[in-house]
Amino acid sequence: MSISADESVPTTKAKVLKTLKSAINAVLIPLLAVFTALVIGALIIKAAGGGPLDAYKGLFQGALGSLKALSETTVWATPYIFAGLAVALAFKGGLFNIGAEGQLALGAVAAAWVGYALPDVLGVTLPAVIHVPLAVGAGMLAGAIWGAIPGWLKARTGGHEVINTIMMNYIALNMTSFLLNGPMKDPNPLNVVARTPGIAESARIPPVFPGLRFHWGFILALLVTGIVWWVLWKTTLGFEIRTVGANPDAARYAGVSVSRTIVVTMTLSGLLAGLAGAIEVTALNYRHELGFSVGYGFDAIAIALLGKVHPLGVVLAALLFGAMRNGATRMQFLTQIPVDVISVIQALILLFVAADAIIRWIYRIRAREERVVLTRGWGG
């Protein structure tokens, strides 16, 4: 440490090089993790009696092969971005929100109710400029409350948010199931599934292009990504969240109210997850239906980690996961490999991202250079 302060001002060129280098370093491990998981996925497909190459070709075509495929990929990616941001924001604040699932579900229920029932309850017709924000806002509020409860419990009683958010998931799931089978069930006599009635025209966000399911929610997701980044790094609130996340003792010492920050972080996290649900209802499905596949919450964790808990990384990871989920349908159609194999591959991605030492070991990555990487990698 004998370098004096005067040498510290970096030249522009060095700065650019350094940024570039750190960017490469940041994406290298996630990319290799994805690659390795795909290789193992291929082995699993092979073992299950399928052709890995055909399967991946189908996956690729289904995800990116056409304008429609691309549009569908963004449709899948939209809730992933919101939910991934929710989990990433909580991680930044040192909190593990496993409850995005429940927050998202309740956000959807609340948005749907405001969407189909509020005009009747109030006895007025609402213009879209009011009704849409109300529906989306209700979804955000529901998610925020569902996130705030475990946050408050953590701040107040020390009850661990990991178990509490999971319990809140099951409660939300039971509640949603009760509501969609009972009070909120679509009364249409032809309806046999657990779903709400369609929301009013005035609560619907119209499609961007006719004939494509690509919707404004995706644009909003990108916008919200920017906002989350801005909040985290450009505001005092973000400074507080990051300080509490990195060292709660030092935060307390420095005068930051740790319990308040924990509640705020979990509230914002829940709000983002709730927004994911609200957007699914108002911009895409125009109603809420009880899904059979559970997994947004866990996927969101994988996305946040794969995206290195950075908003921009979350968007990239969400697009990847969206593409895989979307392409999987075509893959199943072409090769009869169940779409569930994607869950396995995604779990493996998460495994390798979490334990990046395994990836470093496989590809012999050391700090000094990355040259060796690809040669060994393709051999595997």
Partner 1 sequence: MTNDQMTHEMSLVLQTKGITKRFPGVLANDHVDFDLYKGEIHALLGENGAGKTTLMNIIYGLYRPDAGAIFLDGRPVDIRSSKDAIAHGIGMVHQHFMLIPVFTVAENIMLGSETVRGLMLDQRSVAARVRELSHQYGLDVDPDAYVRDLPVGVQQRVEIVKALYREADILILDEPTAVLTPQEVEDLFKVIRALADRGKSVIFITHKLKEVFAVADRITVMRDGRVVGTVRPQETNEAQLAAMMVGREVILKVEKGPAHPGEEVLRVENLHVFDDRGVETVRGVSFFVRAGEVLGIAGVQGNGQTELVEALTGLRQPHSGKVVMLEHDVTGKSPRSIIETGMAHIPEDRQRYGLVLPFPVTDNLVLCTYYLPPFARSGMLNHEAIDENSRELVRKFDVRTPSPYVPVSKLSGGNQQKVIVARELSRPIKLLIANQPTRGLDVGSIEYIHKVIVRMRDAGCGVLLVSAELDEIMALSDRIAVMYKGQIMDTLSADEATREQLGLLMAGVKEEQDAIAGQ
Partner 2 sequence: MDWRRFGFIALIILVLIGVVVMVGATQVSPTVIVVSMLATTISVATPLTLGALSGIYCERAGVVNIGIEGMMLASAFFGWFGAIYLNTILKVAPMPSLLLGVVAAILTGGLLGLLHAVLSVTYKVDQIIGGTVINILAIGITGFLNRQLFFEKGSIFGGEVPHAPGVLPRFHIPLLADLPLVGRVFEQQPIAVSAVVLVLVTHFVLFYTRWGLRTRAVGEHPRAADTVGINVARMRYANVIIGGLIAGLAGAYFTLESVPSFEPLMTNGRGFISLAAMIFGNWSPFGAWASALVFGAAQALQINLQFFREQIPPQWAFLQQAYIVGLVPYLLTMVILTGIIGKTTPPAADGQPYEK
CA nearest to 128, candidates 113, 115, 143: 115
What Rg value do the Cα atoms of the chain yield, rounded?
22
Assign residue 336 a region: left if phi > 0, alpha if psi is -120 to 50, beta otherwise?
left
Q: Are 33 and 356 in contact (CB under 8 A)?
A: yes
Q: Which one, 23 or 246, has the nearer CB to partner 1? A: 246
Query: Tokens representing 260?
Result: 């308040």
Site string for partner 2, 297-316 (x = CB under 8 A): -x--xx--x-----------
- Which position among 7, 127, 211, 366 is part of the footprint of partner 1 (CB under 8 A)? 7
Nearest-angstrom CA–CA distance, 237 and 230: 10
Tokens 């009704």 belong to 131
- Which position among 65, 344, 362, 370 is part of the footprint of partner 2 (CB under 8 A)? 344
Using CA atoms, how far residue 140 sits from 8, 119, 176, 281, 285, in Å, is 45, 19, 16, 12, 17
Nearest-angstrom CA–CA distance, 171 and 367: 46
Q: Is 355 in the site for partner 1 (CB under 8 A)?
A: no
**CB 247 to partner 1: min, Å:** 5
| DSSP code for 158 | -
Q: Determine the interface stretch with partner 1 among 20-28, 236-244, 320-328, 346-354 (rule: CB under 8 A).
A: 236-244
Residues in CB range of 34: below 8 A, 6 or more apart? 306, 320, 349
Q: Is 324 in the site for partner 2 (CB under 8 A)?
A: no
User: What is the distance of C-alpha 34 from the center of its chain?
Assistant: 17
Helix (H) or strand (E) holding 80: helix 67-92
Site string for partner 2, 119-138 (x = CB under 8 A): --------------------
- Which position among 126, 166, 256, 290 is part of the footprint of partner 2 (CB under 8 A)? 166
Q: Determine the interface stretch with partner 1 among 19-27, 64-72, 228-236, 264-272 (rule: CB under 8 A).
A: 228-236
The HSE-up count of residue 194 (CA atoms within 13 Å, CB side) is 15
Tokens 């946040």 belong to 304
Using CA atoms, how far residue 22 sits from 31, 228, 353, 366, 367, in Å, is 14, 22, 17, 14, 12
Q: Determine the interface stretch with partner 1 among 33-41, 89-97, 211-219, 231-239 (rule: CB under 8 A).
A: 231-239
Q: Which of residues 23-52 bind partner 2 (CB under 8 A)?
A: 44, 48-49
Q: Determine the interface stretch with partner 2 among 198-206, 236-244, 278-286, 330-338 (rule: CB under 8 A).
A: 330-338
Tokens 């507080």 belong to 240
Q: Which one, 145 or 175, has the nearer CB to partner 2? A: 175
Q: Which of residues 264-323 bind partner 1 (CB under 8 A)?
A: none
Q: Determine the interface stretch with partner 1 among 132-140, 190-198, 212-220, 245-253 (rule: CB under 8 A).
A: 245-253
Partner in contact with 5, chosen from partner 2, partner 1, none, beta carbon below 5 to 8 Å by kind: partner 1
Cα of first residue to Cα of last residue in the chain, in angstroms, is: 42
Q: Which one, 34 or 302, has the nearer CB to partner 2? A: 302
Q: Please state, as a whole number, how many other Cβ atoms lie within 10 Å of the Cβ of residue 292.
A: 6
* Interacting residue ranges for partner 2, rule: CB under 8 A: 44, 48-49, 96, 98, 153, 156-160, 162-164, 166-171, 174-175, 177-178, 294-295, 298, 301-302, 305, 336-338, 340-341, 343-348, 350-351, 354-355, 357-358
* Interacting residue ranges for partner 1, rule: CB under 8 A: 1-5, 7-8, 10, 233-239, 242-243, 246-247, 249-257
